[in-house]
Amino acid sequence: MSDDRTRDGYLWSATGAPDPEIARLEALLAAYAHRGTLPPLPVRARGHRVWRVVLPALTAAASLMLVISAAWLASASRNADPWAVQTLAGTPAVAGAPVDGPSRLAAGQVLTTDSESRARIAVGQIGRVDVEPNSRLRLMRSRPGEHRMALDRGRIAAQIWAPARSFFVNTPSATAIDLGCAYTLDVDASGGGMIRVTHGWVAFEYDGRESFIPAGAVCATRPGFGPGTPRFADAPAAFEQALPVLDFTAPADPRRAEALQRLLAAARPRDGLTLWHLLSRGRAEERTTVYDRLATLVPPPAAASRDAIARADRRALDAWWNELGLDSASWWRVWKSPWRE
Q: Does the pLDDT at position 222 exceed 70?
A: yes
pLDDT at 74 over 80: no
- State how far the Cα of 311 lies from the Cα of 303, in Å rounded to an integer: 13
Query: Would you state the pLDDT for residue 145?
Result: 85
Asked whether residue 111 carries a pLDDT value surpassing 90, the answer given is yes
Say if residue 9's pLDDT is above 80: no
pLDDT greater than 70 at residue 292:
yes
The structural domains of the chain, ordered by start, are 3-78 (no CATH), 83-228 (2.60.120.1440), 234-341 (no CATH)
Number of helices and strands (H, E) in the chain? 10, 16
pLDDT at 341: 39
Average pLDDT over residues 305-323: 93
Average pLDDT over every residue of 249-262? 96
Phi-psi region of 317 (alpha: psi -120 to 50; beta: other; left: phi over 0): alpha
pLDDT, residue 100, reads 85
Strands, DSSP E only, in 164-214?
167-170, 175-187, 193-206, 209-214
Which residues are CB-neighbours of 121 under 8 A, at least 6 positions away? 83, 84, 85, 86, 105, 111, 128, 129, 130, 131
